[in-house]
Structure 1
Amino acid sequence: MSDERPRPQFGAYASSDEQLARSGQAPQRHVSDPALVPRDMPPEDPATPRRPGQREPVGQGTLIDRVVTIAMMAFGLYSIIGGIRVYTDPYALAAAIGMDGLELSDAGALRTAGVVAIVVMLLGWAGTVWLLWRRHTRRKSMWWIALIAGVVFTFVGALIVAVAFAMDPAVLERFASMQGIELPE
Structure 2
Amino acid sequence: MSESRPRPQFGEYASPEEQRARIAEPIDEQRAEELGIAPVVPVERQPRQQQEPTLREQTREQAHEPGVLQPGAPTVAARRPVAGDRIATSILLGLGLVGLIVTMPGLLDLPGLIRPALVQMGVSGYSSDGLASAMGILALGLQIALWVGAIILSSRSLRAGRLTFWIPLVAGVAANLVVVICLAVAMGADPAFMEYVRSQQP
- TM-score interval for Structure 1 and Structure 2 normalised by the shorter chain: 0.5 to 0.7
Following superposition of structure 1 onto structure 2, how do residues 1-185 of structure 1 map, counting pairs within 5 Å?
62-87=82-107, 88-96=109-117, 98-99=120-121, 102-177=124-199, 179=200
* Stretches (4+) displaced over 6 A: none
CA-to-aligned-CA distance 1:87-119 (integer Å, 9 cap, x gap)? 332232343463366321221210111111110
Asked whether the equivalents of residues 85 and 92 of structure 1 are also in contact (C-alpha less than 8 Å), the reply is no
Aligned pair in 2 of structure 1 residues 154, 138: CA closer, same or farther (>3 Å)?
A: same
* Structure 1: runs of 5 or more not aligned: 1-15, 18-44, 50-55
Alpha-carbon distance in structure 1 between the residues aligned to 2:77 and 2:173? 41
Asked whether the equivalents of residues 91 and 102 of structure 1 are also in contact (C-alpha less than 8 Å), the reply is no
Alpha-carbon distance in structure 1 between the residues aligned to 2:106 and 2:157? 33
* Structure 2: runs of 5 or more not aligned: 1-54, 57-73
Alpha-carbon distance in structure 2 between the residues aligned to 1:123 and 1:112? 17
CA-to-aligned-CA distance 1:7-37 (integer Å, 9 cap, x gap)? xxxxxxxxx99xxxxxxxxxxxxxxxxxxxx
Deviation for aligned residue 1:155: 0.5
Q: Which amino acid aligns with 2:114?
A: L
Aligned pair in 2 of structure 1 residues 86, 101: CA closer, same or farther (>3 Å)?
A: farther
Aligned pair in 2 of structure 1 residues 164, 48: CA closer, same or farther (>3 Å)?
A: closer
Number of corresponding residues: 131
Deviation for aligned residue 1:174: 2.3
Q: Which amino acid aligns with 2:91?
A: A
Q: Which amino acid aligns with 2:112?
A: Y
Q: State percent identity of aligned pairs.
A: 26
Deviation for aligned residue 1:161: 2.2
Asked whether the equivalents of residues 123 and 196 of structure 2 are also in contact (C-alpha less than 8 Å), the reply is no
Q: Secondary structure at the match of 2:162?
A: coil
Asked whether the equivalents of residues 123 and 192 of structure 2 are also in contact (C-alpha less than 8 Å), the reply is no
Deviation for aligned residue 1:121: 1.0
Superposition TM-score, scaled by structure 2 size: 0.55
Alpha-carbon distance in structure 2 between the residues aligned to 1:117 and 1:73? 18
Q: Secondary structure at the match of 1:165?
A: helix
Task: Please identify, of 120-129 and 79-88, the stretch whose mean Cα deviation from structure 2 is larger.
Answer: 79-88
